[in-house]
Structure 1
Amino acid sequence: MQTFPATIAYFSMEIGLDPAIPTYSGGLGILAGDTLRAAADLGIPMVGVSLVHRLGYFRQRLDAQGQQYEEPATWNPEQHLEALPPSIRVPLEERQVSVRVWRYWVQGISGWKIPVYLLDTNLEENNAWDRHLTDQLYGGDAYYRLCQEVILGVGGALILQALGHDTIVTYHMNEGHSAFLVLGLLRQLCQGELPSQWTAELHEQVRQRCVFTTHTPVPAGHDKFAADLVRRVLGEPAASLVLHLDGQPDNILNMTGLALSCSRYVNGVALRHGEVSRDMFPGYPINSITNGVHAVTWTSEPFQELYDHHFPEWRRDNLYLRYAINLPPAEILAAHSRSKQQLLQEVERRTGQRLDPAVLTLGFARRATAYKRADLLFSDLDRLRRIVRHVGPLQVLFAGKAHPQDEGGKAIIRKVFAAAQALRPDVTVLYLEDYDMTLARLLCAGSDVWLNTPLKPQEASGTSGMKAALNGVPSLSVLDGWWVEGCIEGVTGWAIGEDGQRPSDPAREAASLYDKLEYVIAPLFYKRPMAFAEVQRSAIALNGSYYNAQRMMMQYLANAYASCGAISNVICPVVPLRQDSPNCPPADSSTPTG
């Protein structure tokens, strides 16, 4: 059996690996994919674990009024992944569920490859219900979700053992969905059996193996399951063990609490989010590592060519983007013009509507949910009309899916459609359906200004504005999440409202948004294009060079992984790997790569 020298196992319920593989719903999954891409670039000895999600999240369809309809995002793992022979059995209630695995390779710039294992229960020996257990991302009821999380956590730990990954010393839980892996680790520590009770020694042994990243500053966003349901699915003593550990009332299992209790290192995903998380979960030493995005993945071809010409080292070392501060503004405008044209061509293909490349274009693409407030821009339609009449025309492009059970999010989409109708012909507003990785890349690069309007302090980090910055697109954003750190007013973009410590005041924030558009941004865009290009340049040099996944992973290496020797095998990304390196398949391998 072939083995790999992985010392870090990265668990995530969703991972954005490829536009053709819909195993992600939004920011969490895209971050997971960017994490693994950066790890491959850096030569980090890592392995990813997730579920196969044969039906994906969903395909979004919108009618003329903005009503959302969902369709399965069906895909065939056989066309994109490599089936591996080992299978394991995971106990659920009083039955054993068989689980097999598919492998995907994420390839880094140096040739280093990271295996990602996607767990699948669609096997003939399972009953009909269990065969569909790994089909739907964030689908089904609480019972379905709980069973999925057992498959991910317990099954993931068992699969790694079956595949011969016996060198792993750190298990990184990306959100609490995978917290049941602590049961798998307990079985490893106790020769395949669960202990009858926790001991301080066992608890510490598990803690020393686990790292946890929390992404959710909203209490409702943390998975919780009724204790009776947990006992039904896990049985005893497993249920008693996890219910004892999560620090919550006995009638509820909080997956975040379980992960917090069993991790030696915990972090939020931005400075402000770390503060919010410590307030939510007092008593836990929660650190902060601000998210980043994979620079090469999210930089448009025109800007890739620009960077390759001036500082080609940027692909290997994203810090070289700092040298963008010396780029000629005219070259930035030219690259952005090409990126914008690519976006507008896609908009016309999707909608049949041709937009004007000379018009100031705002981009807004986030998961459609109430706290992200996609409708804040439409708080005062008359004010928007006046801005257009006095300063210049405006185009706004929206995208984003609402969870099928999020009626508030669906209502937000309908509000955008209603505002678009009311504003015609003064302001052009389009909502692009079925937001995915491909559309995100175009929107983040081709918009002129990236708009973000979350309700403070509910934005954990946000990464779309980071993708925009890599393409010289400045943000106009509420001071929450990463933007508290990334905003230098008038230099990297513009703030909506007051400082990030104060709760949101929607009326003040709407007024601030309009003032910035009318008196600062639109005049700069239309009357002083070279000055606007200087803001674009600073967005690249200051934010693009820092808010990338390479920097993020270096912080994980230094702070989360280093303490127990998890990075002893890290290689330098500039050193070419031998083709027979354990993390490199043979040169003639036909295995899929990222």
Structure 2
Amino acid sequence: MSHWKRFTQEPKIAYFSMEIGLSAEIPTYSGGLGILAGDTIKSAADLKLPMVAVTLASRHGYFIQTIDPEGRQREASATWNPGRFMELLPVKTLVTIEDRDIKIQSWLYRVKSPTGGEIPALFLDTDIPGNSEEDRHITDHLYGGDLSIRLKQEIVLGIGGARMLEALGFSIKKFHMNEGHASFLTLELLDRARHPVEDTWDERASWDTRRVMNQCVFTTHTPVPAGHDRFPYDLVKKVLGDRIPLPLLQELAGKESLNMTMLALNLSGYVNGVAKKHGEISQSLFPGFEIHAITNGIHTFTWASPYFVSLFDKYIPGWAHEPELLVRVDNIPDEEIWEAHCGAKAYLFQYIEETTGTKLDSEVLTIGFARRSATYKRGDLIFTDLERLVHIGKGKLQLVFGGKAHPRDEPGKQIIQRIIEKTSQIKGQVKAVYLENYNMEVAYRLVSGVDLWLNNPIRPLEASGTSGMKAALNGVPNFSVLDGWWIEGHIEGMTGWSIGPPATETDLNDNHASEDLEDLYNKLENIIIPLYYEDRAGWIRVMKNAIGKNAYYFNTHVMMRRYATEAYIR
């Protein structure tokens, strides 16, 4: 038996995600969705859950970001070689695209845990001799190309991924779609459920869909319309063909265009949002479906800085495998918490000086903000009133920013440009720096090395927001709009601070920009800055609460136990 075949010996949960972030060296992720997928798989390995992951190889990654002298984002390919990290499996499969058979191969990456657990992750790849030059590049760039390329990528992921698992000999008891990109796997399952041969789709459609629903779990991540892929049916017919009758496809995926989210919703027996509030928002967006909520988490061992790893090992043995033990953080003396934080801060500041030439002051309260640069995340909100920011922060604040805009998101790129313009305008008064090419490696330093984590999206558009969980794990309090996970993790003045009014809306058009801004400035000036400089013991108490009341619960171990009991075992 080939050594990889041991993974096929027991039925598995197949976890499909367009992007997976396992390490900075494997750049097959763009942001939170991919990092969550990587953390999910790591926790599955820790917990020895029977899982296999499926994604695309994305040989040229998402992109490497540089910022030009005018503050404009520039993109370059993040090319990597799967052969350095993975084993090419000897089995291939086919998908039909534009009436051509396209070969797909897969690379096996083993996600290993110190517990002895091991999860196989399959990276699908069309760069194979025998495929046309055009087809060899389908899986090159994550979220790259035009609508036609995106559609082809999603066919490779969903249909190709399901066929690859079958070709390799995997027995799958549940298919878990992490976002709608993999929804075409439901069509492959629907096709398999169509028997005996003489049956027509229409005669057996209801029976077929029930069978597929019993196999599928779907997690939706975004209330933002751009997060739900749609394809015109004329393009679908051209690329996918008409193996599935158009009336049935329209019934399952939408009348006007093929909506990947609707397709997944209609063919999944269990659907969930990624925070309690997001579950409510998703329920209002998609009435008629039962939408649950399982709040996202982070893989604690991945995201704890080396300084806190040592500290937790000393005072809370077993924390990495049982993150709920972090509730015992009060066992750690205050001075050792502060010492670990100062180590993480120095680690970050050294990186900032090496990469930007900017030397930050370790004694000054430092705020971190790093997100995908999208308009609803409002990365430049704190700069709205520069005069007030300087009045509040001169000599008392430092700001560190990071994040990429999608190459075709012009408004997102303009936000980066505005942040860089504003930082130059307050130069000499409030130090601020924008870190290029935000990735897992930069995030690892940033979330633990700042003193306060800022998040100010337009509510209720933040589905979850796991970067704040990474900060909390490292004793960095959150200062955030009440949206996503922070509604559940926030205790005012204890685990951090809120920005703006309570979260009562379900309307996507509600906007509290003026209230949010006023509250942000007021709390900085009157509560946060005085606490940091005048009451170190009080500040450390908030740091400990961030660990003991947030990090102990908002992790992927807790999340995966809930998926196992609520979604997988049905």
Whether the TM-score (by the shorter chain) exceeds 0.5 is yes
The answer to whether the 8 A contact 2:253-2:260 is kept is no
Per-residue Cα deviation, 1:362-381 (whole angstroms, up to 9, x for no partner): 00000001000011101111
Per-residue Cα deviation, 1:517-543 (whole angstroms, up to 9, x for no partner): 111111111111111011000000000
Map residues 504-523 of structure 1 onto 2, 5 A cutoff. 504-523=511-530
SS of residue paired to 1:429 = strand
Question: C-alpha displacement at 1:322, in angstroms?
Answer: 0.7
Given the superposition, is the C-alpha separation of residues 107 and 214 from structure 1 closer, same or farther in structure 2, using an over 3 Å criterion? Answer: same
The answer to whether the 8 A contact 2:97-2:239 is kept is yes
Q: Does 1:560 align with 2:564?
A: no
Alpha-carbon distance between aligned partners in 1 of 2:305 and 2:388, rounded to the nearest angstrom: 34
With CA pairs under 8 Å and 6+ residues apart, which has the higher RCO, 1 or 2?
1
> Match for residue 149 of structure 1?
154
Alpha-carbon distance between aligned partners in 1 of 2:139 and 2:49, rounded to the nearest angstrom: 28
Per-residue Cα deviation, 1:61-93 (whole angstroms, up to 9, x for no partner): 101221000000000111111100000110112
> Match for residue 471 of structure 2?
468
> Match for residue 62 of structure 1?
67
Alpha-carbon distance between aligned partners in 2 of 1:379 and 1:478, rounded to the nearest angstrom: 16
The answer to whether the 8 A contact 1:88-1:155 is kept is yes
SS of residue paired to 1:315 = coil
Question: Larger deviation: 380-389 or 90-99?
Answer: 380-389
Q: Does 1:178 align with 2:182?
A: yes
SS of residue paired to 1:85 = coil
Question: C-alpha displacement at 1:241, in angstroms?
Answer: 6.8
> Match for residue 585 of structure 1?
none
Task: Give the residue type in structure 2 aligned to 1:186.
Answer: L
Q: Does 1:272 align with 2:277?
A: yes
Question: C-alpha displacement at 1:242, in angstroms?
Answer: 5.9
Q: Which of these residues, 454, 457, 476, is aligned with residue 454 of structure 1?
A: 457
The aligned length equals: 559
The answer to whether the 8 A contact 1:173-1:212 is kept is yes
Question: C-alpha displacement at 1:385, in angstroms?
Answer: 1.2
Q: Does 1:235 align with 2:241?
A: yes
Per-residue Cα deviation, 1:446-467 (whole angstroms, up to 9, x for no partner): 0100000100011000100000
Q: Does 1:221 align with 2:227?
A: yes
Map residues 354-369 of structure 1 onto 2, 5 A cutoff. 354-369=359-374
Map residues 77-116 of structure 1 onto 2, 5 A cutoff. 77-116=82-121
Alpha-carbon distance between aligned partners in 1 of 2:85 and 2:329, rounded to the nearest angstrom: 37
The answer to whether the 8 A contact 2:358-2:433 is kept is no
Q: Does 1:353 align with 2:319?
A: no
Task: Give the residue type in structure 2 aligned to 1:124.
Answer: P
**Unpaired segments of 5 or more residues in structure 1?**
564-594
Task: Give the residue type in structure 1 aligned to 2:137.
Answer: H
The answer to whether the 8 A contact 2:452-2:476 is kept is yes
Given the superposition, is the C-alpha separation of residues 15 and 245 from structure 1 closer, same or farther in structure 2, using an over 3 Å criterion? Answer: farther
The answer to whether the 8 A contact 1:186-1:195 is kept is no
Q: Which of these residues, 411, 421, 427, is aligned with residue 424 of structure 1?
A: 427
Map residues 162-311 of structure 1 onto 2, 5 A cutoff. 162-166=167-171, 168-190=172-194, 196-197=201-202, 198-238=204-244, 240=246, 243-249=249-255, 251-311=256-316
Q: Which of these residues, 482, 486, 498, is aligned with residue 483 of structure 1?
A: 486
Question: C-alpha displacement at 1:199, in angstroms?
Answer: 1.8
Given the superposition, is the C-alpha separation of residues 551 and 195 from structure 1 closer, same or farther in structure 2, using an over 3 Å criterion? Answer: farther
Alpha-carbon distance between aligned partners in 1 of 2:37 and 2:268, rounded to the nearest angstrom: 19
Task: Give the residue type in structure 2 aligned to 1:252.
Answer: S
Alpha-carbon distance between aligned partners in 2 of 1:557 and 1:170, rounded to the nearest angstrom: 11
Q: Which of these residues, 493, 497, 502, is aligned with residue 500 of structure 2?
A: 497
> Match for residue 132 of structure 2?
127
Alpha-carbon distance between aligned partners in 1 of 2:252 and 2:465, rounded to the nearest angstrom: 27
Given the superposition, is the C-alpha separation of residues 241 and 16 from structure 1 closer, same or farther in structure 2, using an over 3 Å criterion? Answer: farther
Question: C-alpha displacement at 1:13, in angstroms?
Answer: 0.3
The answer to whether the 8 A contact 2:315-2:331 is kept is no
Per-residue Cα deviation, 1:276-299 (whole angstroms, up to 9, x for no partner): 101111100000000000000000
SS of residue paired to 1:86 = coil
The answer to whether the 8 A contact 1:470-1:544 is kept is yes
> Match for residue 411 of structure 1?
414
The answer to whether the 8 A contact 1:242-1:258 is kept is no
Tell me the TM-score normalised to structure 1 length: 0.92
Per-residue Cα deviation, 1:348-389 (whole angstroms, up to 9, x for no partner): 111111111111100000000100001110111111111124
> Match for residue 27 of structure 2?
22
The answer to whether the 8 A contact 2:212-2:267 is kept is yes
The answer to whether the 8 A contact 1:444-1:467 is kept is yes
Alpha-carbon distance between aligned partners in 1 of 2:239 and 2:32, rounded to the nearest angstrom: 29
* Root mean square deviation, CA, Å: 1.4
Task: Give the residue type in structure 2 aligned to 1:152.
Answer: L
Question: Larger deviation: 495-504 or 444-453?
Answer: 495-504
Q: Which of these residues, 313, 330, 338, is aligned with residue 333 of structure 1?
A: 338
Q: Does 1:321 align with 2:326?
A: yes
Map residues 35-46 of structure 1 onto 2, 5 A cutoff. 35-46=40-51
The answer to whether the 8 A contact 2:13-2:52 is kept is yes
Alpha-carbon distance between aligned partners in 2 of 1:357 and 1:501, rounded to the nearest angstrom: 38
